[in-house]
Amino acid sequence: MPGKPALTFWQIWNMCFGFLGIQFGFALQNANVSRIFQTLGADVADIPVLWIAAPLTGLIVQPIVGHYSDRTWNRLGRRRPYFLVGAILTTLALVFMPNAPLLWVAAGLLWIMDASINVSMEPFRAFVGDQLPNRQRPLGYAMQSFFIGVGAVVASLLPWLLTRLGVSNVAPAGGIPDTVKFAFYIGGVVLFGAVLWTVLSTREYPPEQLAAYDTAPAPEHAAFDKAASRQRGVVWALLGGAGLMLIYGFHLDRELYLLAAGAFGYGIALLWLAQARHGGMPAQVLGDLHAMPAAMRQLAWVQFFAWFALFAMWIYTTAAVTQVHYGTTDTHSALYNEGANWVGVLFAAYNGFAALAAIVIPLMVKRIGLRRSHLVNVWLGGAGLISFLLIRDPHWLLASMVGVGFAWASILALPYALLSDHLPAAKMGVYMGIFNFFIVIPQLLAASVLGLLLKTFFHNQPIWALALGGASLFVSGLCTLRVHEPAAEAQAAAPTTAASAPTATRR
C-alpha cells in the first residue's frame, strides 16, 4: 500500500492548534499556583513539596492514557476523545482553582488540573505520529512548539495585562487577586476553545488503515516476567529503604527523601506486580517499558540531560539573577522584586524566541537532519545558560534567552520526531507516555540533588546551577549523535497530494 499521504500546512495547523490551549493552562499554572499557595498560607519552604504534583501526575497519567488511547476507536476517533475529556476537566479546574478557600483544596485542585492537562497532552504527541508521514513529523512537532511558545507568552503576561486594564491586583483577606481569577477564567475559555477546534477540524485514520500505513518494526513480545520483576523489585526496595534510613539517621537534606522514596516505591510496585494476577494495563505498560525500541533507549539520555537542565533553570534563575545581577538576597527589598520581575520577562522572552525558532527548525532539519539540528539547538541553549556567569548587565540576558528559546523549541519537537519514526502505530500512545518518564525522572532528580550539589561544591551560589544546566545541555547534544536517524521513508519519493487525507469520516 502507498505510504501515508502528506497533509497541507493548514491541516497540520488545525491538528496542532489545541496545544495553544494546553500551554495556556500550563503557563497559568506555572506562573500563578505558587502565588495562590502563598496567599492561602503556605510557607515558602513547603512550596516545592506542593509542586511535586506536577511531575508525579505526568509520570502516572501519561502511560495510562497512552495505553488506552492506542486501543480506542469510537465516533470521535482514537485520540480526540481524550483531548476533549481532558479539556473539559482542565477548564473546570481552572475555574475552581483561584476560588479555593483553603490551602489543601488548592493543592488537591493542582493534582486534578495537572492530571487533566496530561490527559489531553499525551495523545497530542501520538496524534502527530499517527497522522503525518515521517518526513512531515518534524514540521508537526515544530508547529506544536510554536503554539507552546505563543501560549506561554500570552498566558504568562495575562495578569500583568489585566492590571494595566484596571483590574484589581490586590488580594483581599484570604482571597486571590481579581487579575489571577480573570486570567484563569480566560485561560479556561482559551483552552477549551482551542482543543475543541482541533477536535472538530481534524479526522483520524481508522485502525485498519493506520496499520496498513505502518512502516515501523513490529513490537517485540512484551510479556511481563514475574521472576525478573521480583528480583528487580527486591533490589530497588532495598536501595530505597537503605537510602531512607541513611537520610534520617545522618540528618541529610530532606530533598533526598524524594529520591529514596521514588526508588523504594518503584521496588514495591515491581514486587506487587510480580505477585498479582495480571496481564492487565500495569503489567503491559511495564512490559512495553522493558521492550522499548533501541532508539527510544538512546533518546532517553537525550531527554534526561535536557530536562535536568530545564528544571535547574526554572528553579534557580530568580535566585541567581537577583543575587548576581541585582546584588541582593533580601526578598523583601524593592531591588529583589525588580530582579524577580525581570526574570519573568526573561522567561516570557525565551518562550517568544521558541515560537520563532519553531519556524526555523524545519528548515534546519531539511538542510542538516534531525540529529544535527537538535545538537546545534541544545548547544545554543547550553551556551545561553553558561553565559549567565559572564554577563553582568541583566538586560543583556535577553541575548542568553535566544539560545534557551532555540533549545526549548527543539526539545519539544525533535526528540519526538526522532522517536515517532521508530514506533509501531499500534503502540504510539503508550510509548509516548512512557517517554514522559525520561522527562519526569530528571526533574525529580534535580529537585533532590541540586541543592546538595550547590551546598557541597559551590558555596550555595545559585548561578552555578545554571552553569550545571548549561553543561547538561551540551551532554544532551552529544547523546543525540548516538540516535539512529532513519533515511526518509520510501513514500517521500512517491508524489502524494494533500487531498489524500485520512479517510475517516469527520464527525
Rounded to an integer, the average pLDDT of 193-197 is 96
**What is the rounded CA–CA span in Å between residue 458 and residue 494?**
57
Tell me the Ramachandran region of residue 166: left when phi exceeds 0, alpha when psi lies from -120 to 50, beta otherwise.
left
Q: How large is the average pLDDT for residues 419-434?
A: 83
Task: Between 354 and 229, name the one with better pLDDT.
Answer: 354
Which of 39-53, 250-264, 324-338, 383-397 bottoms out in mean pLDDT, i.e. has the lowest? 39-53
Q: What is the pLDDT of residue 237?
A: 94
8 Å CB contact between 261 and 240: yes
Rg (CA), the chain: 23
pLDDT category at 14 given cuts 50, 70, 90 is very high
Label residue 51 by pLDDT band (50, 70, 90): low
Q: Are 83 and 120 in contact (CB under 8 A)?
A: yes
Return all residues near 335 (Cβ < 8 A) that are at least 6 apart.
322, 326, 327, 328
What pLDDT is attached to residue 266? 87
Quickly count helices (H) and strands (E) in the chain: 19, 0
- Specify the DSSP class assigned to residue 487: P
What backbone phi and psi angles, to 5 degrees, belong to 417? -65, -45
- Residue 369 region, left (φ>0) first, then alpha (ψ -120 to 50), else beta? left
Average pLDDT for the chain: 84
Please write the tens of the pLDDT for every residue from 361-401: 999 999 999 999 999 999 999 999 999 999 999 999 999 99
pLDDT at residue 480 above 70?
yes
Q: Are 438 and 419 in contact (CB under 8 A)?
A: no
Residue closest to 302 by CA, chosen among 40, 432, 477: 477
pLDDT number for residue 2: 64
Is the CB of residue 422 less than 8 Å from the CB of residue 440? no
Across the range 18-37, mean pLDDT stands at 81
Contact status, residue 407 vs residue 380, Cβ threshold 8 Å: yes
∠ Cα 107 31 476 (to 5°): 100
| Euclidean distance between CA atoms 468 and 118, whole angstroms | 29
- Give me the pLDDT at residue 152, please: 85
Helix, strand, or coil here: 64? Answer: helix
- pLDDT at position 218 is 57
Q: What is the pLDDT of residue 224?
A: 59
Check whether 38 has a pLDDT greater than 70: no
CB-based contacts of 249, cutoff 8 Å, min separation 6:
none
pLDDT mean over 205-220: 75
Report CA-CA distances (Å) from 222 to 182, 216, 286, 289.
Answer: 48, 16, 8, 8
pLDDT tens by residue, 115-156: 898 898 888 888 988 899 888 888 898 898 889 888 888 887
pLDDT of the residue at 497: 35
Distance CA 306, CA 378 (A): 8
pLDDT band at 307 (very low <50, low <70, confident <90, very high): very high
- Is the pLDDT reported for residue 195 higher than 60? yes
What's the pLDDT tens digit per position in 64-81?
888 888 888 998 899 999
pLDDT band at 426 (very low <50, low <70, confident <90, very high): confident
Q: pLDDT at position 404, please?
A: 96
Which distant-in-sequence residues (6+ apart) come within 8 Å of 504 by Cβ?
A: 77, 203, 204, 205, 206, 209
Mean pLDDT of 271-278: 74
- Residue 496, pLDDT > 50, answer no
Cβ-Cβ contacts under 8 Å for 28 (sequence gap 6 or more): 94, 155, 158, 183, 184, 187
CA angle 187, 69, 91 (to 5 degrees): 15
8-state DSSP, 2: P
CA-CA distance, 212 to 344, in Å (whole number)?
A: 48
User: What's at 20, amino acid-wise?
Assistant: L
Strand partners, 74: 77
Dist CA 53 CA 64 (whole Å): 17
Task: Please say whether the beta carbons of 108 and 75 come within 8 A.
Answer: no
Distance CA(140)–CA(147), nearest Å, equals 11
Inter-axis angle of helices 103-131 and 80-96, to 10 degrees?
160
CA distance 312 to 296: 24
Grid coordinates representing 443? 526533574
C-alpha cell at 379: 548547544
Helix (H) or strand (E) holding 70: helix 53-70
User: Given this model, what pLDDT does residue 217 score?
Assistant: 62
Q: What pLDDT score was predicted for residue 219?
A: 55
Choice between 185 and 489, residue whose per-residue pLDDT is larger: 185
pLDDT of residue 372: 94
What pLDDT band is residue 319 in, cutting at 50, 70 and 90? confident
487 pLDDT above the threshold of 80? no
pLDDT (0 to 100) of residue 101: 85
